[in-house]
A = this chain, B = another copy of it.
Amino acid sequence: MRTEVSSFGEFRLIDHLTRNNETMNAGTLLSVGDDAAVIDQFGRQCVVSTDMLVEGIHFDLTYTPLKHLGYKAVAVNLSDIFAMMAVPTHITVSIAVSNKVSVEALEELYEGIYAACERYNVDLIGGDTTSSRSGLVISITAIGEVAPDKYVTRSGAQANDLICVSGELGGAYLGLQLLEREKKIFLENPGVQPDLQQQAYLIGRILKPEPRADVAEWLKENDIVPTSMIDVSDGLSSELIHLCNKSNTGCVLHEEKIPAHDDARAMAMQFGLSITTCALNGGEDYELLFTISQNDYDKIKEYAHVTVIGYMTAPEQGLQLVTPSGGKHTLTAQGWNSFDTH
């Protein structure tokens, strides 16, 4: 029998491969299937997450400066730790690289890695550097800490909880489209240098995302304990489906509430794309998507960095996107899948 990897998709594949995973250590509090795992370390708790970035799949060195790539590789891992409401403390970095790459290029990559470590007060404590026959591969494991049982999983949301998202969505996807367009133009007309200065916001969203440490911190300071949380790496739709599936809820998502930056709206228009589609299916925004009890609404409503975009429902009500005109659509996961054969 032969089943194609592409027929599974990334999430179902990892679910499938780890379906018989039984944990043996009593200290393993949360295993595969959330933003990070949680292990009990002598009374306090340690949160662990890992991510792999592959050249040609997750990044294109044509328009990704190595320093930015190093920074982003760390940032996306830390985002998983913040999405557990934990604080990252340490990372390990493994890199496979063609021996055609210069040491200076690797230094640039590490400059970005160190810049992110410094910004988020994280120590680089280990790594492996090895040769690769083809492209660059970066694998990072992030470790964080959290007070006992204060971590937030994907599975605690209940009907009537409010669905909140930090920042603005869709920008990273539009930034990527912009870079891809400029790359194409450049390859066809090597004389034309792209001028992307006007698009600093969108380019920044794709090349230099920042994990929302600030939002996680604000929630703690204001004694708001999210009932569930995930970071938006694969698009709002896919992440919200994760929360609903893990929490066994349905949801109502109000299209007109989905936050987007003006530059993103304008660029979506230019590309003839719906900004809602960019937010739902684009991915790489690295914002925090979470649910809170309605009791916390008064605390959060004035906070500029978070928008309430809907609410959880009973599971039998399904996953609904409500348009401004009152139309109802079922949310489907069209998020990014690295195994797609397009």
Chain A positions near chain B (C-beta within 8 angstroms) = 1-8, 10, 13-14, 16-18, 20-21, 23-25, 27-28, 30-32, 36-37, 39, 41-44, 46, 48-52, 54-58, 89-90, 92-97, 99-104, 106-107, 110, 114, 117-118, 121-135, 137, 139, 141, 143, 145, 338-339, 341
Contact = CB atoms under 8 A, between A and B. Distances in A.
A41 B46 contact: yes
Counting from the closest, the 5 A-B pairs by CB-CB distance are A139-B139, A37-B125, A131-B338, A134-B134, A3-B103
Given A17-B106, A141-B141, A94 B51 contact: yes
Given A21-B114, A145-B41, A102 B4 contact: yes
Q: How many copies does the complex hold?
A: 2
Nearest to A8: B103
Contact of A141 (B20, B54, B92): B92
A134 B133 CA distance: 8
A90 B54 contact: no
B94 A129 contact: no
Contacts of A37: 90, 92, 125-126
Contacts of A48: 90, 92, 125-126, 141, 143
A29 to B, nearest CB: 9
Interface centre among A8, A42, A51, A52 (most CB of B within 10 A): A52
B103 A16 contact: yes
Contact of A52 (B20, B110, B139): B139
Contacts of A139: 50, 52, 94, 128, 137, 139
Nearest to A126: B37
A128 B52 contact: yes
Contacts of A132: 54, 57, 137
A33 to B, nearest CB: 9
A145 B97 CA distance: 31
A129 B32 CA distance: 12
A56 B137 CA distance: 14
A6 B100 CA distance: 8
Given A24-B123, A139-B94, A54 B133 contact: yes
A107 B123 CA distance: 34
A51 B127 CA distance: 7
B99 A52 contact: no
Contacts of A56: 133
Contacts of A100: 5
Nearest to A107: B17
Contact of A50 (B92, B101, B117, B338): B92
Given A10-B129, A58-B130, 8 more contacts: A13-B106, A14-B127, A20-B114, A31-B123, A48-B141, A50-B139, A54-B137, A132-B137
